[in-house]
Amino acid sequence: MSKITVLHLVDDTTAGGVMRMLDHLAQLPELADEVHQEVRPVKRTAFSWGSFQADVIVCHIAPGWRCLPAFSALRAMHPTTRLVHVEHSYTRSFTALNVPHKRRFFAMLRVTYSLFDQVIAVSKAQAGWVADRRLTPASKLSVISPQVDLSAVARAAGQVEAARVIGAIGRLEPQKGFDLLIEGFRMCPNPDARLVIFGEGSQRDRLAALAAGDRRIEFRGYADDPAEAYRAVDVVAMPSRWEAYGLVADEARAARRPVIVSMVDGLRDRIGASGVIPCGSDPKAWRKSIEAVLAGTPPVVPALAPKADRSRYAERWRQVFDPAKGF
C-alpha cells in the first residue's frame, strides 16, 4: 500500500512550538508505515506559494489580509487536494486585546477558513471561540491539541515536596504576561521566595527594569535544556494574556511541577487537571496565588502516560491525513 503524502506549510522554522510539534508528529511510529510527511517553508506574504504534489496539504500559517491571495491561490491550484488549516495563532483573548476592527478581522478569517476542507483548533477553548463567532461550519471544525516529545523532561521529573522557587519559561514578549508576574511577585513579602525567568525577547529590558532592586528575581536567558530549567524550579507560572494552547503547561506537568495558569484561551482547558492552579489576570491575583502555593504543600502532580497519549494523538492525525476517514 502506498503511503499518503502530507505536506506541512510553515512560514517560520525557528525552534518554537509549531516546529517542535511537527518534529514530533513526523517521528510517530504509529504513522510511519502509512504517512510520508514533509515540511515546506514559504514566504507568508508571497502572492502564491506554488503548486505542490501531495495528497494532503496542512497549513500552519496565520491568516491575514496580506496573505489572503496566497491562501486563495493554494485552493485554486489544488482543487481536489485535501487542504487542512491548523489555527495556532488567533484566540478570543488575542482578538479582545489586539484587534481594533473586529468585524473586518472576522470577515478575513471566514473567507480564509472557507478555502479549507478542515479547520483544526489547538484547544477546546479556541474551538469554542471559532464556533461562537461562526468562523467555519461545525462540520469542518475539530480539535487536536499539539504534542511534543516530553521524554527528556519526564525523565528528569520528581515530585516537589516544598515550594520556594517560582519559574517562568517562555519568550519575553507582551503575550506571556511576565510583567504581571513580576509585579505580583514583588508584592510577596517572603524573603526566601525566588522568581527565576528563562527566555529571551523584546521585553527583556522592560522586565529587568520592573524587577530592579529585588534580588529574589533572576533572569537566566534561553534554556538550552528544558529539563534543566524545570529541575531548577518548584512551581511554574504562566501569566499569559492570550495562549492558543500553551505547551509549557504540558512540560511542567511532565516534570511533575505544579503550574499556575491565567484563565485564558487554551490554558482554560487545563483547569481541573492535577497540579494546575487557576489564577486571575492582574498582579494582585498573582500575588495571592504565589503566596498560597508558597505557604502550603504543593499539589501532587502524577507521572504522565506518554505512550497512551501518543497513540491517541497519532489516531487523531491519521483521521486527518486519510481522506477516506476524515472526521
pLDDT of the residue at 298? 81
Q: What phi, psi does 41 have (nearest 5°)?
A: -70, 140
pLDDT of the residue at 304? 72
Q: Which domains does the chain have, with CATH numbers?
A: 4-148+308-321 (3.40.50.2000), 151-295 (3.40.50.2000)
The three cell numbers of residue 131 are: 464556533
pLDDT of the residue at 138? 97
- This prediction has a pTM of 0.93
The DSSP string of 151-217 is HHHHHT----SS--EEEEES--SGGG-HHHHHHHHHT---TT-EEEEE---TTHHHHHHHHTT-TTE
* pLDDT tens, per residue, the chain with 327 residues: 689 999 999 999 887 889 999 999 999 999 999 999 999 999 999 999 999 999 999 999 999 999 999 999 999 999 999 999 999 999 999 999 999 999 999 999 999 999 999 999 999 999 999 999 999 999 999 999 999 999 888 887 788 888 999 999 999 999 999 999 999 999 999 999 999 999 999 999 999 999 999 999 999 999 888 899 999 999 999 999 999 999 999 999 999 999 999 999 999 999 999 899 999 999 999 999 999 999 988 887 887 766 668 889 999 999 999 866 543
What residues have CB less than 8 Å from 139, skipping those under 6 apart? none
* CA 50/CA 73 separation, integer angstroms: 8
The DSSP string of 122-151 is SSHHHHHHHHHTT-S-GGGEEE-------H
